A and B are shown apart, each in its own frame.
Chain A
Amino acid sequence: KAGVTQTPRYLIKTRGQQVTLSCSPISGHRSVSWYQQTPGQGLQFLFEYFSETQRNKGNFPGRFSGRQFSNSRSEMNVSTLELGDSALYLCASSLGTSGVYQETQYFGPGTRLLVL
């Protein structure tokens, strides 16, 4: 099976712009989670989508949003970019079954966003 894919891999934007990142989960996986990784804050949970519904949300401002499509692919959007949004954005997928707490999350290679 192909792994989790994320596009684009690298992105440069300027302050005030918006950006959309894409994640394709492993085939058959219905849960997609997003994480932000920065040197200062480490790995922080953004949100999780399951069956096109946001199931869980981290402590990020409303500028960060996401959605999931019927084929389980997910996008996240950041509006009005700030310098502090520069980070590696990681997407992870899992089956999303009733035993969700035991499931393994499989991570993609990430999208590295640089905000100038």
Chain B
Amino acid sequence: AQSVTQLGSHVSVSEGALVLLRCNYSSSVPPYLFWYVQYPNQGLQLLLKYTTGATLVKGINGFEAEFKKSETSFHLTKPSAHMSDAAEYFCAVRGNTGGGNKLTFGTGTQLKVEL
């Protein structure tokens, strides 16, 4: 079984500051990891994903995440926050055996960007 834990349900940063959203996973098999963003009244949009290969993954809108197996982490970062980044962010995991297309999501982190 797989699970993810997102530390901090709400994160507030100033515009131009570093964004760091934390995600730790638990998986009995090598995981595939995803970060999605959800804007108000919209569905989920994929920011980036880790499957195999390079552990530093670059995504859309300047976001990136690093897969650290030793720390079971997949934290999302962006060097400089923009007002348009305000949204809810979800980390998700999928195992590589069984389970089909089932994604297991974390509880989400609401990002607020202040002037």
A interface residues with partner B (beta carbon < 8 Å): 4, 31, 33, 35, 42-45, 48, 50, 55-56, 58, 90, 92, 94, 96, 100-110
Contacts and interface: CB of A to CB of B under 8 A. Distances in A.
A43 B99 contact: no
B97 to A, nearest CB: 8
Contacts of A44: 105
A64 to B, nearest CB: 15
A42 B105 contact: yes
B90 A100 contact: no
Nearest to A9: B41
Contacts of B95: 101
B25 to A, nearest CB: 14
A106 B42 contact: no
Nearest to B44: A107
15 contacts: A33-B102, A35-B103, A42-B105, A42-B106, A42-B108, A55-B100, A56-B99, A96-B101, A100-B100, A101-B99, A102-B32, A102-B52, A107-B43, A107-B45, A110-B42
A104 B46 contact: yes
Interface of B: 32, 34, 36, 41-46, 49, 51-52, 90, 92, 94-97, 99-108
A104 B46 CA distance: 8
A31 B100 CA distance: 10
A17 B99 CA distance: 31
B94 A4 contact: no
A110 B101 contact: no
Contact of B107 (A42, A45, A94, A102): A42
A4 to B, nearest CB: 7
B105 A43 contact: yes
A33 B41 CA distance: 19
